[in-house]
Structure 1
Amino acid sequence: MTPNATPQMAGVIVPATYRDTWHDGFGARGWKLDCSLTEPSVIASTSETGSRLPTSVLVHDILDHHLCGVGIGGHRNEAIALHQLEIRTGSDPLPDIRQIINEDLLQGCVERDTMRSFLPSSLLSMVPHGVRADYDIIKSLRNRLTHEQLLHELELHFIRIGQTNSRAAKKSFEESCLFYEKRTSLGIAIQDLLIAFDQYLASHSVDYAHGAFYLTNDHCTLRVAGLSSAFYADVK
């Protein structure tokens, strides 16, 4: 797909910024949604999908976070967004949930929460009341439960958070005037735009770009400042 002219249309507008290198500690190339520019944990992404999913991280940020009213960043938000990703793509959320648990929670790190505000009461009841520090709470639980038991309880907690907040996420998405049941097709269309932009980059030297994704139930468009034409994809 190459840039081409696109008709005027009304719909949801999602501004985004592209850099060939982000000086944010990660140094990745790609896009970030403008609403996430102040979130230090967000890594830029391109059209790269990995081996398990048909769409990239940026599509996840747009459709499963932003338009579902779910903040980008924070473990509670990610639990909700991973459930939305499962609904949209049919993907199993457990590999990502386990990675978050092993790399963050079991090391005493919980983003945008404290352990006492994040963990379920079933686990907190096992922790002495005087234990307040995040790492000490996890250490106490690891002394009470086997790794497999604690992992299982935390997995269930992530899944419950996603399921409990699913109705609110769907309502938020529908308030954008987009059809919730078309999220799968919308994701593929946005993915096509990202692929088209990567193809454009292959023959143009671009180190910075600011643009916006214009989304309707029938069409998706990526307009980039300074380009006279836009990247356009049908929602099938």
Structure 2
Amino acid sequence: MRLFQSPNVVVRVTYRSEWPDGFGARGWKLDIALDDPEIIASTPSPGERINTSVLVHDILDHYVSGFPPSGHRNEAMALIQLSTRTGSDPRSDYEQMIDEDLIHGVVFGESMRSFLPPCAVRLLPPEVLSGKEIISFLVNIMGHDSLRTLFLERFFDLGYRGVPLAQASWNRRGLGYDRNTAIGICLQWLLEEADRILVNGSFSFATGFFQIGNHACQITLDKPINIMFSKLV
């Protein structure tokens, strides 16, 4: 059953039973992120504390909100969108990125110097330093724990700065920002239905697209089978 004629947003997705990305993950990716090595395919399973999956996060909190799928700054903003939409606390995700990446001098999407808050940049010498050199320099001045706290505060600051940008992006697409929770739950249901069909049919590959509106959403699989699921928001 077709619930609408002109969806506000169309997002293409691809499914594989095993992605050739070195991880062998089963799941889904946005087509706009197929060539991004930082994006790992996700299953429809929601998190322990979050009622929607990573793919829904990629669709709503990144794509619809206007934030590219990778990069620490983009993820900082997208995680606040996830928090707004689901009530989750982004702190643990921020801390994981700090401990796994930033504290080792790794920043995706920009240089360490441009990611740091101005108060930390003012402490740095003028010469060009690598990310690891910057971290070593700041640890010597501030200490490890203080630098970690600074990064955490930076993530929250960047995240909340993204709120008006996300609201404007939703408005430009004709979607009600206050509908984000309901739309997310709707997309999650559609994703689980489509995934069930592919798993039960032992399909190794499929393509399709989500159609997203304020009052209804739809997922259509167009290869190798043609099937559609619709749901009111």
TM-score by length of 1: 0.93
CA–CA distance in 2 between the matches of 1:181 and 1:45?
26
> 5+ residue gaps in structure 1?
none
6, 11, 16: which one aligns with 2:2 = 6
Q: Which has the higher contact order (CA 8 A, sep 6+)?
A: 1
1:128 corresponds to: 125
Q: Deviations over 1:57-96 (max 9, x none)?
A: 0000000000111001000111111111111111111000
CA–CA distance in 2 between the matches of 1:82 and 1:8?
30
**Contact (CA 8 Å) 2:190, 2:231: kept in 1 or not?**
yes
Q: 2:84 aligned with 1:87, yes or no?
A: yes
Deviates more, 1:111-120 or 1:5-14: 5-14
CA–CA distance in 2 between the matches of 1:148 and 1:89?
30
Provide closer, same or farther for how the CA distance between residues 16 and 202 of structure 1 changes in structure 2, counting only shifts above 3 A: closer
CA–CA distance in 1 between the matches of 2:144 and 2:50?
28
189, 202, 205: which one aligns with 1:205 = 202
Q: CA deviation at 1:117?
A: 1.1
Q: CA deviation at 1:151?
A: 1.2
CA–CA distance in 2 between the matches of 1:130 and 1:203?
58
**Contact (CA 8 Å) 2:4, 2:216: kept in 1 or not?**
no
2:157 corresponds to: 160
Aligned pairs (5 A) from 1:55-204: 55-130=52-127, 132-204=129-201
Q: 2:229 aligned with 1:231, yes or no?
A: yes
SS in 2 for 1:214: strand
> 5+ residue gaps in structure 2?
none
1:24 corresponds to: 21
**Contact (CA 8 Å) 1:6, 1:229: kept in 2 or not?**
no
The alignment-based identity, stated in percent, is 42
Q: CA deviation at 1:229?
A: 3.1
Q: 2:191 aligned with 1:222, yes or no?
A: no
Q: CA deviation at 1:50?
A: 2.1
**Contact (CA 8 Å) 2:3, 2:216: kept in 1 or not?**
no
CA–CA distance in 1 between the matches of 2:140 and 2:81?
34
Q: CA deviation at 1:29?
A: 0.8
CA–CA distance in 1 between the matches of 2:96 and 2:83?
16
Q: Deviations over 1:143-198 (max 9, x none)?
A: 22232211111111111111112101110111111111000000000100111123
**Contact (CA 8 Å) 1:70, 1:77: kept in 2 or not?**
yes
Q: CA deviation at 1:121?
A: 1.4
**AA in 1 matched with 2:167:** K
TM-score by length of 2: 0.95
Cα RMSD (Å): 1.3
**AA in 2 matched with 1:203:** N
**AA in 2 matched with 1:91:** S
